[in-house]
Structure 1
Amino acid sequence: MVKEEHEVSVMGPPYNTAPMASTVINIRSETAVPDHIVWSLFNTLFLNCCCLGFVAFAYSVKSRDRKMVGDVIGAQSYASTAKCLNIFSLIFSLLLTTGLIILLATGTVISLQAISQMMKN
C-alpha cells in the first residue's frame, strides 16, 4: 500500500459539520431575434421604393450587430423598425407596380382606340 493511501485509510472519511452548499448557474436561453436581413436585402435590390429598402437594410445590420454584442433589447428594437420599414416598402412597391400596370394597360387601350379612330377617318 502506498503511504498516502495508508494515511487516508487511517484518517477516515472527511467530517464536515457545515451543510453542503450548491451553486446554481442560470443559463439564459438564447432568444432568437429575427433581424430580417434577407427581406431587407430583397427590398433594397428589387423594391427600393423611396429608399425604404435601403433604410430597412441598415436597421437589419444594426440589429445583427446588437445581437452579436448580446444586447437583445436593442436588437429587438432595430429588428422591429426594420420589419416595419420592410412592410411599408413592400406595400408601396406593390401599389406602385399595380398602378403602373393599370396605367400602361389603360394607355394602350386608349392608344389603340385612337389609332383605330384615325384609320376610319
Structure 2
Amino acid sequence: KKCTSQPSFGSQHCFPPTQEMVKEEHEVAVLGVPHDSPPMTSTVINIRSDTAVPDHVVWSLFNTLFMNCCCLGFVAFAYSVKSRDRKMVGDVTGAQSYASTAKCLNVIALVVSLLLTIGFIILLATGAVVSLQAISQMLQNHGGY
C-alpha cells in the first residue's frame, strides 16, 4: 500500500498498490541502484602504518669488523646508517632503497670473505701436506749415510 499523510490533521490516506508501483519495486530489487543516480563517491583515509624496514645495521657492523673484504662491510654499514636515517625521517621508499643496497653489499662481502677464507685454508692445508712430503723425502734421502 502507498500511504500519504496530511500535515494538518495527521491522518493518512492509503491507496492500493498499482501495477506500475509493483513493477518499479521489482526493477529496483533486481537491478539495484537506478542507472540515473549520481556516481558513488568514496573517501580514502591514508593511515600511516609503521612498516618494518630492516636496515641491516648489525649485519653490516659484523661484516665491517670481521669480514671487511675490499671495504665492502664498511660501505654496507654506511648504507645501513643512511637507511636508518631515512626511516627516522619517515621516508619509507628511501629507507628501503638504502637497505636493499646495504643487503646486497653485505651478501657480496660475506661471500667474498668466505671464499677467501676457504681458499686460504685450502692453500694452507695443501702447503702443509707438500711441506711434510718434502721433509719426509729429504729425511729418506739423507738418512742412509
1:74 aligns with 2:85: no
Per the TM alignment, residue 24 of structure 1 is displaced from its structure 2 partner at its CA by: 7.8
1:100 to 120, 126, 129: 120
Structure 2 Cα separation of the partners of residues 106 and 49 of structure 1: 23
Bigger Rg, which one = 2
Q: Residues 73, 24 of structure 1: CA spacing in aligned structure 2 closer, same or farther, 3 A cutoff?
A: closer
1:112 to 132, 136, 144: 132
Report which of the two has the higher share of strand. 2
Amino acid at match of 1:54: F
TM-score (norm 1): 0.79
Show the counterpart of 1:6. none
Show the counterpart of 1:5. none
Show the counterpart of 1:28. 48
Tell me the matched-pair count. 99
Amino acid at match of 1:115: I
Show the counterpart of 2:37. none
Per the TM alignment, residue 33 of structure 1 is displaced from its structure 2 partner at its CA by: 0.4
Tell me how large the CA RMSD over aligned residues is. Answer: 1.3
Provide runs of 4+ in structure 1 moved above 4 Å: none
Per the TM alignment, residue 26 of structure 1 is displaced from its structure 2 partner at its CA by: 3.4
What do residues 32-80 of structure 1 show as CA deviations (whole Å, max 9, x unaligned)? 1000000000000000011000000000000000000111100000000
Unpaired runs of 5+ in structure 1? 1-22
Unpaired runs of 5+ in structure 2? 1-42
1:45 aligns with 2:65: yes
Report which of the two has the higher share of helix. 1
